[in-house]
Amino acid sequence: MKYLISGRNGQLAQAFMRVFERKSIDFIALDKEKLDITNTGNVDEVVSNYKPDVILNCAAYNLVDQAEQHHIKAFAVNAEGPKNLALAAWREKAVLVHFGSDYVFDGKKEGGLYTEEDMVNPLSQYGKSKFAGEEEVRRCCPEFLIFRSSWIYEKANRILLIS
């Protein structure tokens, strides 16, 4: 199995890289300069050249407060980027693993954790951009996983997604 990781310099990508290196898993992790997920041609070229079995989308615009003023950039990275990766994954028959956010919910649920059956209602531009990305992944790629979390951290070389 070959893995392609976007967002090389981010916390999540760095955690995957440490785990993959320790387990001798075949991967390539690229930063924005080598894999700009907002650039369709760049994504197509990288994915078709590397031919991954799995694409881990660790790239994101995660400046939640700044997304209100910079919503165009947030949507480019969080919605158009996943769409580009999803289409490239579909063409190469790869699985796309996308990391969403609990910001797709409004926080009004009483009792219990959110599930995939719960209605989304993003209140911020950030949440709306993350939900738009999830929708693009669902629409464009038949083989995908979407993880929604509120916090991601690494402990003892394990990646933990907190809901």
Question: Tell me: the pLDDT tens digits for 90-131?
Answer: 999 999 999 998 889 988 998 888 888 889 898 999 999 999
Report residue 154 as tokens.
């690494």
pLDDT in tens, 31-78: 999 999 999 999 999 999 999 999 999 999 988 899 999 999 999 999
**What CATH architecture applies to the domain 2-162?**
3-Layer(aba) Sandwich (3.40)
Query: Where are the domains positioned within the chain?
Result: 2-162
**Alpha helices per DSSP H over 23-124:** 40-50, 71-75, 81-92
For residue 27, the cross-strand partners are 3
pLDDT of res. 163: 44
Question: pLDDT grade, residue 156 (50/70/90)?
Answer: low
What amino acid positions are annotated as catalytic residues?
126
Q: What whole-number distance in Å separates Cα of residue 24 and Cα of residue 68?
A: 41
Tokens 């991601």, located at residue: 152
